[in-house]
Amino acid sequence: MDLSEGLADWTDWDGAAFLVGRSLGIFDASETFPETKHVFWTDNPLGNALHEVLLQLAAAGVLERREEPDEQFRRP
């Protein structure tokens, strides 16, 4: 699944960041979100960087972002 398919609907930021990481080759196709969720649920350089990528893609208009009910992203 590529990033545009994975973000066709509103996706919580951590799941969206996982998809970005997978599309960049950081996470192998065999790795699941539950196996990597610690990256997003703790304060660490990789999780913070992937979140920043989402914010920058939203600022560039590549993604849409909403903050309610939770921070979520999708392809426009």
- Quick one: average pLDDT of 2-19? 94
Cβ atoms of 64 and 58 closer than 8 Å: yes
Cβ atoms of 27 and 18 closer than 8 Å: yes
Read off the pTM: 0.93
Farthest-apart Cα atoms in the chain, separation:
31
Domain ranges of the chain: 3-74
The answer to whether residue 1 scores a pLDDT higher than 80 is no
Residue 34's identity, in one-letter code, is P
Q: What is the DSSP string of 37-69?
A: HHHHHS--HHHHHHHHHHHHHHHTTSSEEE-SS
- Quick one: average pLDDT of 26-43? 95
